[in-house]
A and B are shown apart, each in its own frame.
Chain A
């Protein structure tokens, strides 16, 4: 095709040899002298280096800001503690605290005693009921269990009247 033949004639276009030589030298020396962040040149490369500089500045800026905030919070929290600590100690009433602590201890002991006593009764009742269930009819077993509970309660009451202190009651229960 004639048209394509004509297009192929454009292959004869050649650059000036002097320009090519100079351009080659400039390009090849360009990268060696090129500093990736702080050097500038024209066109696309300029955009790239500016972007790199901006990114670098942002990164270091963020790092510095975060470090400053961290230091401020650390030092600040120590100072606040130092300022507040005498005030907190002045508010505390030591004798009042001691009395309160003693009262709490006593309450705990009493609740323990009540809990342990009830546990003992439950245990006794349950074991006796198991034995009865194996040997007797349900009605008879129920009667037997009732009797057992009654005897346990009276036994405890007798024990309580005989030794009225909590310590002795605890002692018995633990045995």
Chain B
């Protein structure tokens, strides 16, 4: 696969010896893939949960993302972008496939204190909880691409290039989308 030939650029702390782990996982070593799973599963789960809004759906979709990744890891090619971009891409496609006919409904009306804990949001102060609820509602109003860009850039801390790879757009397009998405989110939030 030549994973060691190219060094992926780093925007957030990578797993120690990630390149070696990817190489071993590509060779079919389950333990190597297990470590990659441990590192990336919370990120993918978060990304999917913000997109779909339901814990059950998010769990099911995240599970499918990693099954697909494990099944197709032999076809993974290091083209200069990190492994996470590949996973986010699978996750995006998984959500699109699942909701091709049915639009995801984020039932934030049901997000009370209990449900917040069920989602995995463990904020202590009520103000924070209310704010998060507002952000999630506002994100729901955004276009799919805008929402993905904002989550990847500000929640997952991906670089512009990593985001561009994950959403399948150019870096310039991602920058523009990010600018427009923030503007739109602000407008929704203020309203």
A31-B30 CB under 8 A given contacts A4-B154, A10-B46, A23-B66: yes
Q: Is B76 an interface residue (CB 8 A)?
A: no
Q: What 0/1 readout, one digit per residue, does chain A (1-16) give for beta carbons within 8 Å of chain B?
A: 1011011111111111
Taken together as a complex, chains A and B put the C-alpha atoms of A27 and B189 apart, in Å, by 39
Chain B residues, CB < 8 A from A43: 64, 67-68, 94, 97
A contacts with B: majority SS: helix
| Total A-B residue contacts, Cβ distance less than 8 Å | 109
Q: Which of A7, A16, A48 contacts B154 (CB 8 A)?
A: A7
Interface residues on A, range: 20 to 34
Taken together as a complex, chains A and B put the C-alpha atoms of A31 and B70 apart, in Å, by 7
Q: How many residues of B contact A (CB 8 A)?
A: 44
Docked-complex contact B66 and A9, CB < 8 angstroms: no
Docked-complex contact A3 and B185, CB < 8 angstroms: yes
A30-B154 CB under 8 A given contacts A7-B135, A10-B135: no
A13-B119 CB under 8 A given contacts A6-B135, A8-B154, A31-B30: yes
Docked-complex contact B63 and A23, CB < 8 angstroms: yes
Q: Is B123 an interface residue (CB 8 A)?
A: yes
Q: Is A159 an interface residue (CB 8 A)?
A: no
Docked-complex contact A15 and B45, CB < 8 angstroms: yes
Q: Which of A3, A10, A14, A41 contacts B122 (CB 8 A)?
A: A14
Q: What 0/1 readout, one digit per residue, does chain A (117-154) give for beta carbons within 8 Å of chain B?
A: 00000000000000000000000000000000000000
